[in-house]
Amino acid sequence: MYYEYCNYNTQDVLNTKDEMKKVFNMLDKGLNGFCTDVFQMREIAQFLPEGFVLSGPVDYPLGKSDRKVRQHEAITLLKSGANAIDVVCHRHYLLNSDWIPLKVDVECMAEICKDYNATLRIMINWQDDKSGDIIVQIAKLLHEYGADIFIPSLGYYNDDFIDNLVISHVTQEDAKVPTICNGYLHLNKHLDALGKAEIFGLRLYPSNYKMVYK
């Protein structure tokens, strides 16, 4: 399974050297990716091995910015060393079923990623619509528009791990899109459930990474 460590959804101002120590410690134990803000991107990118995923957020967490602003943010991340971007699906387009501007938004992001040989990962907030069938259809649509990986959660602290894992599993199975679970793993029963879920990947946070990388 693919594992990544993410620190961009914390309100704390993190020390880059401390974060690098964490990442390199987990890297020795098999970590596959690191997701961080642009302010840490340039410094960290130069030290990471080839093939390691380095991703940053675009329009996180609201997903309501103007398309040009979102594109500029994506390009800034990619020029700073990211080889993947985590784009929050434009929530205005999504929640109002404005499929044409949504298609344009995602396709433009896909073209930007293609120019930088990067991976496009689209995030939604599954709690906006708890219907599994609708989430699967959204994942299929985003994949058709150019998304490489689907992340069904924005990683809020109240996001139940088991619910997130179920959504991730069902989406990957039915939509045939690689899916990263973004729930908060913190109990041994969560680890047991994760082993049975058959999903592409799991995101870990400063509060729970030691569950996997002790």
Separation in Å, CA 11 to CA 14, 63, 86, 206: 9, 18, 18, 12
What is the extent of the structural domain holding 148?
Answer: 2-211
pLDDT for the residue numbered 213:
86
pLDDT for the residue numbered 78:
98
DSSP notation for 38-95: HHHHHHHHTTSPTT-EEEEEESTTT--S-HHHHHHHHHHHHHTT-SEEEEEP-HHHHH
pLDDT for the residue numbered 155:
87
pLDDT for the residue numbered 207:
85
Cβ contacts of 64-72, under 8 Å, gap ≥ 24: 64/90, 64/91, 64/92, 67/101, 67/104, 67/105, 67/108, 70/105, 70/109, 71/108, 71/109, 71/112
**Domain holding 157: CATH number?**
3.20.20.70
Residue 203, H or E segment: strand 201-204
Q: Is-above-0.85 flag for pTM?
A: yes
Could you give the number of structural domains in the chain? 1
pLDDT for the residue numbered 130:
63
Segments of the chain with pLDDT less than 50: none
pLDDT for the residue numbered 132:
74
